Amino acid sequence: MPEPASSVSREGYSEEAIREILGPQGASAPVLIIAAHMDDEAIGAGGLLKYLKNFSVLNVTDGAARNMRAARARGYATREGYALARRAELREVLSMTPSQPMDLTTLDVADLDAPFNLPGITMSVKEAIARRAPAIVITHPYEGGHPDHDSAAFAVSAALCLMRAEGKSVPKHLEFTSYHGDGGKIVTSRFLNPGPDEARIELSKEERAFKEALFSCYRTQKGALRGFPIGSERFRKAPQYDFCRPPHEGRLFYQYFDWGLPGRAWCALAARAAREIGIGDGRFETDYLEFFNPRAAYRYLRYLRTRTAFF
């Protein structure tokens, strides 16, 4: 896809570029990074982490799925052991940033479980925003790359929506890039629908080396991270999403994998969560149960009764 003509592109993170992304406080602005998994912060904003002076990180999941596939493949006998290893890797990454995070929170949600816990995650995100009072929240875009990424996008949008309804002031809501699909091929380092308001930074040699060093801490994710080039980072103001609709036509990237969600069931879960937390303002009315096959529908209904993830 061609670059939008007015997209700002800069060589390296100059002070001016950082102010352009984060606002007048620049690198001193209090930032809360809300990422689905340990490593998403490095993928989306590894270069920027070299400069942030006042930031916190909230992980929506503990990075270990109940199905144990990734854990076993990496030699871990328990889900908890794998989650601990991933958290240790994140700590190692953050020990390399010139400023240490003010706060590091991991929600008690397994990898791939986020779509089934949207109301709880939204409330935790809202609490974290109230506690840290960031000027800026940076999270994933809604792109159908990974169900947990889309869940983080939902939770941040929903939390800010609730705060606005309560008359509270809300932080600036930005997005970093994650990944999405194009006919089953992974697309990284760019947004699904690029727009003119993106800030694009071509990392300098030192910034690339820094980001590479962060990546190398994620030993359990070595294979996956190989697919992420580290040449550039992009940020933009989060658009207003309709989470009741899939982010794009056709098969979403995660539908090519057995990542726990039957088809476009994510939208059904988002619609239900929006109603449950009281932000069903008409944009969340559609239920997408028709995307479930009978077996998945049975498991989903059982999930609603027991509130335990069903895969």
Q: Smallest Cα–Cα separation from 257: which of 224, 284, 230, 281? A: 224
Is 36 among the residues that bind Zn ion (CB under 5 A)?
Answer: yes
Are residues 40 and 89 in contact, defined by beta-carbon separation less than 8 angstroms?
A: no
Q: Which is nearer to Zn ion, 36 or 265 (CB)?
A: 36
- Least distance (Å) between residue 153 CB and Zn ion: 12
Binding piece for Zn ion, criterion CB under 5 A, among 4-12, 28-36, 158-166, 168-176? 28-36
Are residues 237 and 172 in contact, defined by beta-carbon separation less than 8 angstroms?
A: yes
Binding piece for Zn ion, criterion CB under 5 A, among 29-37, 208-216, 231-239, 261-269? 29-37
Is 40 among the residues that bind Zn ion (CB under 5 A)?
Answer: yes
Q: Which is nearer to Zn ion, 142 or 292 (CB)?
A: 142
Residue nearest to Zn ion (CB): 37
Helix axes 147-165, 265-276, angle to 10 degrees: 20
- Least distance (Å) between residue 127 CB and Zn ion: 22
Strand partners, 185: 182
Compute φ and ψ for 141, nearest 5 degrees.
Answer: -80, 165
Q: Which is nearer to Zn ion, 148 or 207 (CB)?
A: 148
- Least distance (Å) between residue 95 CB and Zn ion: 21
Contacts for 180 with CB less than 8 Å, ≥ 6 apart: 143, 144, 145, 186, 187, 192, 247, 248, 252, 253
Binding piece for Zn ion, criterion CB under 5 A, among 21-29, 36-44, 130-138, 204-212? 36-44
Binding piece for Zn ion, criterion CB under 5 A, among 16-24, 34-42, 95-103, 270-278? 34-42
Q: Which is nearer to Zn ion, 37 or 236 (CB)?
A: 37
Return the number of other C-beta atoms located less than 10 Å from residue 194's C-beta: 17
Is 86 among the residues that bind Zn ion (CB under 5 A)?
Answer: no
Binding-site member from 37, 50, 79, 272 for Zn ion (CB under 5 A) = 37
Binding piece for Zn ion, criterion CB under 5 A, among 35-43, 58-66, 106-114, 122-130? 35-43
Alpha-carbon distance values, 300 to 265, 289, 291, 311 (Å): 9, 9, 12, 10
Handedness of CA 116, 155, 34, 236 (dihedral sign): positive
Are residues 233 and 18 in contact, defined by beta-carbon separation less than 8 angstroms?
A: no
- Least distance (Å) between residue 37 CB and Zn ion: 4
Q: Which is nearer to Zn ion, 233 or 272 (CB)?
A: 233
Q: Which H or E run contains 208?
A: helix 205-217
Interacting residue ranges for Zn ion, rule: CB under 5 A: 36-37, 40
